[in-house]
A and B are shown apart, each in its own frame.
Chain A
Amino acid sequence: MAYKPQYYPGNTSVAKNRRKHMAGDLEKMRDISDEDLTAILGHRAPGSDFPSTHPPLAEMGEPDCPVREVVEPTPGAAAGDRMRYVQFADSMYNAPAVPYWRSYHAAINYRGVDPGTLSGRQVNEMRERDLEEFSKDVCQTEITDWGLAGMRGCTVHGHSLRLQEDGTMFDMLDRRRLEGGVMVMDKDQVGVPIDRKVNLGKPMTESEAAKRTTFYRIDNVSFRSDKEVIEHVQRVWELRTKYGFVPKA
């Protein structure tokens, strides 16, 4: 039997969703075209070439290095792309992703990524064409619900606020909003207007979001209700404490 990693303990829906996110086993929820995605990322004009920061690796004549021989460069690194970022904010009102799980998802399933985890937002840096591939996966799958999450390069405020009346997360720069039952975005991630309205699909209903979330919440699935998770967390903390205690050092 092939080895199947178990990323996270627990039997509740939240624990199962956390495992799914870490394993990259995500359901596709919507279609976003390459051009639309490039437009909302805002790093280059849709249809333009990828600007580069160095010549392609094949032309550079790399030095002899066993590590370079073993590690195959990502397409972005091989082409010499710029480093660029994408950042998301997720509402604590049952958004599908917790910032930490976005980082786990990126670090486990993609190469050449530098995830940054903060309390209410999560940023990933990588080479530009790798970033676009990664962002497309993230934007189209269940890890992002555009009603309860937002692509926000700056002014990320919203994670810990009450939701708006229409059930979406507050966005100070009004980058995306609910129009005619679907989420539309007409600015890039830093709030600069773009030349199109990108359709981001329907937001999840309240009950669907509660099913797909990775947030433990007392009014949905509480952390304390999952005994296996508690046991695991307590074990990790116990071992961390014991291994940190070295009297002779």
Chain B
Amino acid sequence: MVRTATVTDRLKNVRIFPQRLLQPETAEKLLNELDQVKGVVRMLISGKNLPRKITCGPGTGKDVNHPDRIIIHVSGCAFELHVIVGEVLVEVENESVVDELKKACERALPFPFEMKRGYFIKSKPTLTDYGKYGFKSKTDETINLEDERLLGLIDPHAKVEPNLCMIKAEGL
């Protein structure tokens, strides 16, 4: 029998939307606090791009050197911020984690924030994902990914390395 599609259980997502765009120090603190909460499966940060070079106008090609584009550490894993953090999407194992997330946000953020529950991170592979990763085999048409939690965390066209941070990889 040919398996025709990847089937995953949908986990609940929480969207954390602070009143202000976060400086790197606050973002680092928030992500570390969220990571301490048990039941967090994955997190996705998004915000406005901090380009390395000017991409349009008479200054095209000049370095920007934005002070917010720095390396932050989340649970011992270092990565460079490419955005000014505007929102954090968190996937949780169950609803009971949400209260803990709220407390973590209150500890990390010195200003109000909004939290919304729903489904914000892609959980099923799309045609572009299949184009990138392919099928597992001729008889198994599920997506050829060892860990399907990678889906939705990065743009299928983007490189994985600078955009993805694996924490506690040995436990996955």
Main secondary structure of the interface of A (DSSP, over half): loop
| A191 beta carbon closer than 8 Å to chain B | yes
Q: Are B64 and A162 in contact (CB-based, < 8 A)?
A: no
For A164, the closest partner residue in chain B by CB is B21
Whether the pair A161, B48 counts as a contact (CB closer than 8 A) is yes
CB distance from B88 to the nearest CB of A (A): 14
Residue of A nearest to B51 (CB): A172
* B54 with A164: CB separation less than 8 A: no
Contact indicator A192/B49 (Cβ below 8 Å): no
What is the size, in residues, of chain A's interface with B at 8 Å between Cβ atoms?
21
Give the Cβ gap from B5 to chain A, nearest Cβ, in Å. Answer: 38
B67 within 8 A of A: yes
- CB of B73 within 8 Å of the partner chain: no
Give chain A residues whose Cβ lies under 8 Å from the Cβ of B22: 165
Which residues of B sit under 8 angstroms from A154, Cβ to Cβ?
54, 56-59
Whether B20 contacts A163 by the Cβ 8 Å rule is yes
Cα(A157)–Cα(B22), bound, Å: 17
Contact A192 B56 (CB under 8 A): no
1/0 per position for B48-74, CB-CB distance to A under 8 A?
A: 111100111111001011110000000
Q: Is A222 an interface residue (CB 8 A)?
A: no
The majority secondary structure among interface residues of chain B is: loop
Complex-state Cα separation, A163 to B22, whole angstroms: 9
Question: Chain B: interface residue count, which band?
Answer: 20 to 34
Tell me whether B48 and A192 are in contact (CB under 8 A): no
Is the beta-carbon distance between A165 and B26 smaller than 8 angstroms?
A: yes
Question: Which of the listed residues A153, A157, A163, A170 has the most CB atoms from chain B within 10 Å of its own CB?
Answer: A170
Min CB distance, B65 to chain A, in Å? 7
- Distance in angstroms from B72 CB to nearest chain A CB is 15
Residues of A close to B23: CB separation below 8 A: 164-166
Task: Check if B84 is an interface residue, CB within 8 A of chain A.
Answer: yes
Q: Is the CB of B20 within 8 A of A177?
A: no
Q: Which of B19, B20, B86 is the most central at the interface, judged by chain A CB atoms within 10 Å of its CB? A: B20
Of all chain B residues, the one with the shortest Cβ separation from A187 is B59
Q: Which residues of chain B (4-23) have a CB below 8 Å from chain A?
A: 18-23
Q: Known contacts A164-B20, A164-B21: does B86 contact A192 (CB below 8 Å)?
A: no
Complex contact A174–B67 (CB within 8 A) = yes
- In the complex, the answer to whether A172 meets B49 with C-beta atoms within 8 Å is yes
B64→A191 contact, CB < 8 A: yes
Q: Nearest Cβ in chain A — how far from B51, in angstroms? A: 7
Is A173 a contact of B64 with CB atoms below 8 Å? yes
* A–B pairs, 18, beta carbons within 8 Å: A42-B58, A154-B57, A154-B59, A157-B48, A162-B18, A163-B20, A165-B23, A166-B23, A170-B48, A172-B49, A172-B50, A177-B67, A190-B57, A190-B58, A191-B57, A191-B62, A192-B62, A193-B62
What 7 A-B pairs are tightest by C-beta distance, nearest first?
A: A154-B57, A192-B59, A191-B59, A174-B66, A190-B57, A190-B59, A165-B23
